[in-house]
Structure 1
Amino acid sequence: MADGEWHFDFDWAKPPLSLNYRMHHMQAAKLTKEIRGLMHARARVLPTMARCEVVLTWFVSTRTRRDDENPVPTLKALCDGLVDAEIVPDDTHEFMVKRMPVIVYRRGEPASMRLTIRDIGEEA
């Protein structure tokens, strides 16, 4: 981990929330709350930041084609958890730069997800 950069690993084989999932809104709300709460609890080790950059990486073990934007709802819930933990005041661009999720093939390794948070200070 580089100075000013933190990694949070999740053992999710696929995003808990996806643009492709067709679930009842109450089920989606429950999952969103769980993800936000998990990130809130894990983010307590982070310092308060003026601005940060976040990247969600989905490590996959097969070469099945996947759309990069499908994990965005999971990324959004994780970012809301960072705000809940008061790491940044809001998840708007003024305080948080959210990069498009990245999908990385890793042969022979279990699928998982990683949220990388980088303190970018007062950059605009």
Structure 2
Amino acid sequence: MNNTALLPLPYTRPPLSMNDSGASRGAAFAKARARKQIREDICRLATIAWLPRGVDHVTVQLHYRPRDNRVRDTDNLWATLKPACDALTVGKPASISRRTKRPVPAQIGYGMVQDDSPRWMAKPEPIIHEAVKGEPGALWLELSWRYPAELAGVS
């Protein structure tokens, strides 16, 4: 049995782009803050939407409706999609890096699936829609998932 949900995101444009260079130390910190914020937003929105946890597999597709019809490519949306997908996993506890011996902060996760590897998650190419005159830009996730056979009543 497949289930679906649309998860509207609180952004009028992608918070991250593959075109963001991040060459300076400040830019790298800004990108890290943006990734953390995306994870927190997705976890909060998934909770509000009562999305399930512990499903067998989820497909996550990012949709973007820009405010105008300038030419854009879908490649740039991957930078926003990646932390959104990470947020749907179980997350990671705080730890100490084996290599640097420095603390690694915890990464929050909703727990919809175990990991964002292909075994648990599919990530089709993002979709860019036509702009709607007079409307602000919008982003949303389209999710579809399967429950494990034992939870779906299938033997």
Deviations 1:30-88 (A, max 9, x none): 11001001111211211121101010000123220001110101101111111111100
Q: Structure 1 residue 110 and structure 2 residue 136: aligned?
A: yes
TM-score, reference length from structure 1: 0.89
- Counterpart code for 1:114: W
Name 1:92's counterpart in structure 2.
117
- Counterpart code for 2:40: G
Q: Unaligned stretches of 5+ in structure 2? A: 90-108, 149-155
What's the Cα RMSD here? 1.5
- Counterpart code for 2:73: D
TM-score, reference length from structure 2: 0.72
For the residue of structure 2 that corresponds to 1:30, the secondary structure is helix
Name 2:60's counterpart in structure 1.
54
2:63, 2:126 within 8 Å by CA — same for their partners in 1? yes
1:39, 1:78 within 8 Å by CA — same for their partners in 2? yes
Name 1:80's counterpart in structure 2.
86
Deviation for aligned residue 1:100: 0.8
Counterpart CA distance in 1 for 2:138 and 2:10 is 5
Counterpart CA distance in 1 for 2:83 and 2:117 is 13
Tell me which moved more, 3-12 or 83-92. 3-12
Counterpart CA distance in 1 for 2:131 and 2:72 is 14
Q: Unaligned stretches of 5+ in structure 1? A: none
Deviation for aligned residue 1:121: 4.5
- Aligned identity (percent) is 28
Counterpart CA distance in 1 for 2:132 and 2:43 is 31
Q: Which runs of 4+ in 1 moved over 6 A?
A: none
